Amino acid sequence: MQGTLGEAGAYPSTIGISKADGDAFVAAIAAGTPQTAEIFIELHSVTTYNVVAETLGGDHENVVHLGGHSDSVSEGPGINDNGSGSIGILEVALHLTKFRTNNAVRFSWWAAEEEGLLGAIAWVEAQPQAELDKIKVYLNFDMIASPNYVYAIYDGDGSAFNVTGPAGSAQAEHLFEDYFRNIAKVATVPSDFDGRSDYGPFLEAGVACGGLFTGAEGLKTAEEAVLFGGEAGMAYDVNYHGKGDDVKNCNGTAFEVNTKAIAHAVAVLGKSTAVLDAPLKRRGGVQARAKGVKPQRVGGKFTY
């Protein structure tokens, strides 16, 4: 089991056990058999690093910031979670060396996301407000190649999950919606800002946020199977936080489509971030919404 308590706080000592072990304890207690346990805790201090790179050219007072976490859980290789997002933004960064942008573009690979967003939190907290104000938008890419994927866009305008991001977040969502609808010509669904990835510290700091996601341990619905293919009632990633999260676990089509969407966002925003300040135009939402599919939050990184 791999879990986090969220941001730092005055928590009591907390551990987790598997559901099977928990069920055994509950059954024994219900049968009237007292249960005891001995807990041995080992504390390890580990030094890890964020990697942050920024274009030499472009307006450094007007930064387009992309990021994804570079760590994985100890139980698995972490190729979808989050090798996919890490490699996706690296691929875009490599191609960007052939071009000039009007605005500076920053790429970040965050450490210790799986331990509670520690790398991103540390970076954001270390920035003076004047530096955070230079970030026009932060775009997060965490798990963009799930085997039983959906194309999910963070719900910046709050129309699906009633949590609106800071000014510019709605426009970032619509920028991705337009790409998937008009260029990639595939359906999309919204994903909520539930704070489980590295955009969380940026949201709290008032920075506009957006990003893409293909699903984790949540179950694909029948409506999503119609939109995207795959198997309804199965997890978006059956190997989420598991040893099976290797290269074979990733869906190449989802990875390619999402990486091209990242490149499109960089091309548009690298030229001008005016779209982030433009009035919103209601266009009927994404294709899934037009079909009358209603989102529901049932735990996990994404449900619909």
Residue in the structure block whose two tokens are 């955009």: 199
- HSE (side-chain half, CA atoms, 13 Å) at 199: 29
* Pairing of the two strands 51-54 and 103-110: antiparallel
User: In sequence order, what are the residues at sequence separation of 6 or more whose Cβ sits closer than 8 angstroms to the Cβ of residue 298?
Assistant: 218
How much helix, strand and coil, in percent to the nearest 5, is found in the chain?
Answer: 35, 15, 50
Q: Kindly give the pairing relationship between strand 209-213 and strand 51-54.
A: unpaired
Indicate which residue of 42, 113, 173, 256 is catalytic.
113
Phi, psi of 136, rounded to the nearest 5 degrees: -75, -35
Q: What is the torsion angle, in degrees rounded to the nearest 10, for the CA atoms of residue 198, residue 202, residue 204 and residue 209?
A: -100
Count the Cβ atoms, other than its own, within 10 Å of residue 15.
9
Q: Which two tokens stand for residue 299?
A: 């735990």
Residues 80/139, Cβ–Cβ less than 8 Å: no
Active site annotation includes 231: no
| Cα gap 17→283, rounded to integer Å | 47
E strand or H helix that includes residue 269: helix 252-271
| Active site residues per annotation | 113
